[in-house]
Chains A and B, each alone.
Chain A
Amino acid sequence: MAFIAEALVSLMLVTGGVFVFIGSLGMAHLRDFYMRLHGPTKASTLGIGCMLVASMGYFWGVDGHIDIQEMLITLFLFITAPVSAHLLAKTGLHLRLKHAKKTGGVPFELRDEEVGKKPVPHPDKGHG
């Protein structure tokens, strides 16, 4: 493998590692559940994306032909990450998990008192 290719692959690996690390760091030290959700949805998508690009580049350099499987993994990740984050957030709201004190615009699910009007299910467009 050429030096430049090797350097690029290493760079991608290191970048990916740094992003995944920062994502996990966020998950460890942010204050409430809803903020912690931001780490895994974003920092990890790019981190893992970088690693997969590195893997693609490496096997391109070694075997001489490109595999598209890594692209598929990235695609599946992009499809599943937001859905799981959405479901986690929804569950968090449902269980009324604690939120940081200074969170603005707290929705009615998380308040103690009854405020505003609750949205009613629409007859023909039930999304619940």
Chain B
Amino acid sequence: MITPRKWLPTPVLSLLLLFVWLLMARSYAPGQILLGGTLAILIPLVTYRFWDGHMQIKKPRLLVRFILRVLKDIVIANFEVARLLINPWKRLNPHFIEYPLMLEERFTITVLASTISLTPGTVSANLRLDGKSLLIHVLDIEDEQALIEQIRERYERPLKEIYEC
């Protein structure tokens, strides 16, 4: 027997959409709430098929710490990259590294890849088809092994704890 599709597949996403809509509209008039609410119900229904599985946040407190750490790293990353770019005597050593992934879920890998792209001198370039390693381009490398360790300890392990363990 075919079970009917749920009317509200992702309640959290719907609430978030409504919230963002109201923030963007800058008003809490009933009309806006009605329009936002309709969209918040329709959008998840349309995009439902593109979401695979629902990730559960196991440790919200760790997530907050992770976000704060990433924000701090983004600021530092900007200063570092700016320094590298405007220093005429600095010779850059670009490097590709193959980063072995510990994470397994697609969602967490996406978060990790985005984090890597936003932080010091690294851009994630490709995810291998088997989902086991990530190709990263580094603007100026000093020690490949140290960088892999740093990504592992700073970002990947917290992500694994937050979502997968």
Which A residues have a C-beta under 8 Å from some C-beta of B?
Answer: 18-19, 22-23, 25-26, 30, 32, 34-35, 37-39, 41-43, 45-47, 67-69, 72, 78-79, 81-83, 85-86, 89-90, 92-93, 99-100, 102-107, 109, 119-122, 125-128
A104 to B144, CA, bound (A): 10
Cα distance, A100 to B162, chains bound together (Å): 38
Residues of B near A25 (CB, < 8 A) are: 85-86
**Pick from A43, A68, A93, A107: contact of B98, CB under 8 Å:** A107
Interface stretch of the complex, out of B3-11, B18-26, B43-51: B18-26
Q: Which residues of A contact B115 (CB under 8 A)?
A: 82
- B63 on the A face (CB < 8 A): no
Name the B residues within 8 Å of A41 (CB-CB): 117-118, 123
Beta-carbon nearest neighbor of A34 in chain B = B137
Interface size, chain B (Cβ < 8 Å)? 45
A46–B24 CA distance with the chains assembled, in angstroms? 22
Is the contact region of chain B dominated by helix, strand, or loop, or is it mixed?
A: mixed
A128 to B106, CA, bound (A): 11
Closest partner residue, chain B, to A38 (CB atom): B139
Question: Which single residue of chain A is at the shortest CB-CB distance from B106?
Answer: A127
The chain B residue sitting closest to A103, CB to CB, is B94
In the complex with contacts A38-B139, A82-B117, A127-B23 CB distance below 8 A: no
Given known pairs A26-B85, A90-B126, A107-B135, the reply for A32 and B94 (CB within 8 Å) is yes
Cα A43 to Cα B135 in complex, Å, equals 22
Contacts of B82 in A (CB 8 A): 18-19, 22, 43
Contact of B123 with A89 in the complex, beta carbons under 8 Å: yes
Instruction: Count CB-based A-B contacts (< 8 Å).
Output: 145
Apart from A89-B126, A104-B94, A122-B130: 4 A-B pairs, beta carbons within 8 A: A41-B117, A42-B77, A105-B95, A120-B129
- Shortest CB-to-CB span from A33 to chain B, Å, is 10
A residues in contact with B159, CB < 8 Å: none
Interface-centre pick from B23, B74, B78, B128 (highest chain A CB count, 10 A): B78
Contacts of A109 in B (CB 8 A): 126
Chain B, 80-123, contact with A by CB distance < 8 Å: what is the 0/1 string? Answer: 01100110000011111110000010100100011111100101
Cβ–Cβ < 8 Å partners of A120 in chain B: 129-130
Pair B85/A45 contact, Cβ less than 8 Å: no
Q: Which of A19, A67, A93 contacts B26 (CB 8 A)?
A: A67
Complexed CA–CA distance, A73 and B114 (Å): 17
Against A, the Cβ 8 Å flags (1 = close, 0 = not) of B44-83 are 0000000000000000000000000000001101100110
Contacts of B113 in A (CB 8 A): 82, 86
**Closest A-chain residue to B137, C-beta based?**
A34
Contact of A122 among B81, B114, B129 (CB under 8 A): B129
Contact for B125 among A32, A42, A90, CB less than 8 A? A90
